[in-house]
Amino acid sequence: MPPELEALVARLVDARVEERLRAAGVTDTNRASLIVFSGDMDRLVAAFTVALASAASGLEVSMYFTFWGLTAIRRRRTFAGKTFGEKLAGLLLPSGPATAGTSRLHMAGIGPRFFRRLMRRRNVASLPEMIAMAQELGVKMIACEMSMQVMGIRREELIPGVEYGGAATYVADAAGAKVTLFI
């Protein structure tokens, strides 16, 4: 195929793809979409590192917090008006990112303390600092309502600025994203 023809075909295909995406409601493809399922400190650090780098590189970033991942955006525990099971779940789960455990070498809480010290010594930003920075950079954070119900987590337990949604909210975002990750 002559190069001019190839370039023409490529342009036409690009235009058509863009048109189709727009028709499907997918407008901005310059996006990174992350599902944060884990509540482990080490995995959360990885998730927020990628989120911050993506935001800094000009991508629109959205993070969906589901199940254990809700720990990252939790700021406190409440018990009022909860069932016994919800109270128990609330008590057993970490009250927020500062008390998240590690996925390996947890050793009854010694591991996370040890890793936090190592990270500080190596000038790696702490998890709460990364979360604050992500909010500052406009990273969109969405809490999964279904897992909030399962875990008995109320909206007032989450940090301000969080949005709420379900699986379809994620899919609509991820369908137009250049980067999607499940962490």
Partner 1 sequence: MANIDLDCRGMNCPMPIVRVSQTLKTIAVGDTITVNADDPSFQADLEAWVRMTGQTLRVFSTADTIRTAVIERTR
- Residue numbers of the site for partner 1 (CB under 8 A)? 49, 52-53, 55-59, 122-125, 133, 137
Residue (46 or 172) nearer to partner 1, CB: 46
Helix-helix angle 110-121:41-56, to 10 degrees:
30
**What are residue 144's DSSP bridge partners?**
165
Tell me the closest approach of the beta carbon of residue 173 to partner 1, in angstroms: 20
Residue (41 or 55) nearer to partner 1, CB: 55
Instruction: Note whether 176 and 21 are within 8 A (CB).
Output: yes
Instruction: Note whether 59 and 88 are within 8 A (CB).
Output: no
Tell me the closest approach of the beta carbon of residue 124 to partner 1, in angstroms: 5
Residue (26 or 124) nearer to partner 1, CB: 124
Tell me the closest approach of the beta carbon of residue 21 to partner 1, in angstroms: 20
Q: How far apart are CA 52 and CA 34, in angstroms?
A: 12
73 alpha carbon, distance to own chain's centre: 9
Residue (15 or 56) nearer to partner 1, CB: 56
Q: How far apart are CA 119 and CA 20, in angstroms?
A: 45
Given the structure tokens 């482990």, which residue do they identify? 40
Residue (50 or 172) nearer to partner 1, CB: 50
Tell me the closest approach of the beta carbon of residue 137 to partner 1, in angstroms: 7
